[in-house]
Amino acid sequence: VRTDVLCSDPVLTISKTDNKTTAEPDETLNYVITVRNTGTADATNVVVTDNIPSDVDFLSADNGGVRSGNTVTWTFDLTAGSTKTLGMSVRVDDDADDGDTIRNTACVSGGPCNDDNTEIEVEDDDDEDEAKDIAAQLRGKAFEAKKAADNIAKGKDAVAIAKSLILWEVKPLDSETDL
């Protein structure tokens, strides 16, 4: 005689996303954490923890999430076959470095962890500002050259005019990145 004993247990899964692959400083990231009980039994006192990553400032957590230090914790019951959605919002630090990755991990008790990675992109205005400065210098040099040409055309002393011009060194470009 064979007797099969079926055990019913909760089976918890977790997923997490902020629906972004990149973010800029001062941008808000809204994480969505989804916990599922795919088992045949109810789960009681389910604990989800989410460690707040570096390069961000905590803003809020919903559905009873409580922050303690750098961790947000939710505790709830989850019936068999049901899903619970949790949320947490953070803001990317204004001094976050370009290319850094914000790795945010959430774990469910007795089950797995899941993480979300978002790369920081810092818009670099330095190149644009430098280009504007060079353009202004070029406009100034063009004005000086036109004024000198006008004076020479009026018969003024070309040697004295040439000496009064500011000489400007022109450096050859090394690559397209120097444009």
Tens of pLDDT along 121-151? 987 655 565 666 676 676 666 667 677 777 7
Tens of pLDDT along 20-60? 999 999 999 999 999 999 999 999 999 999 999 999 999 99
**pTM: predicted TM-score of the whole model, two decimal places:** 0.66
Strands (DSSP E) along the chain, which ranges?
12-17, 22-23, 28-37, 43-51, 56-61, 66-68, 71-78, 83-92, 101-108, 113-120
